[in-house]
Amino acid sequence: MQEMRANDVASDLIALVTESLHRLETNHAHGLVLPNVFAGHVTDELASADLAYVAGLLSSLGVEEIAGVSTAEVCVDVIGLLDPSRVEDFAAYRIGETALRLGGLEALDGDVAERAALAALPTETVRAVRAGERP
């Protein structure tokens, strides 16, 4: 059996994710814009945060485009369409990390930077924890 090296695994994983997003763009999310409903599920802020996060990771790894769509622009476009008041917990850090990968808030245009900053701080979650409604 052939020995797999970490670089081989990383390359294979990047190729798998890139191909998966290419199929998503080709078949369901043209321009990598998520439809309102996908596979019977509403595509909410969590799904959008996941897309921005994965596109940002790929961009930082040198994947500049998928199916002719800029990975960096996908991140900016997704963040620009978010409703920050609906971003919670897990999605919040993904938006924050994606904004950092894009150069931080100062590198983003005004409205996108504001949405990223608000989305990265899940105020409803903070309120609920402080009120003892959540652990």
Q: Check pLDDT > 80 for residue 2.
A: no
The tens digit of pLDDT for each residue in 32-48 reads 999 999 989 999 999 99
Q: Check pLDDT > 90 for residue 127.
A: no
pTM metric for this prediction:
0.87
Q: What is the largest CA-CA distance in the chain?
A: 57
> What pLDDT is attached to residue 124?
76
Q: What residues contact 30, with CB distance under 8 A and at least 6 apart?
A: none
> What pLDDT is attached to residue 121?
86
What the block records as the tokens of 89 is 């917990």
> What pLDDT is attached to residue 122?
77
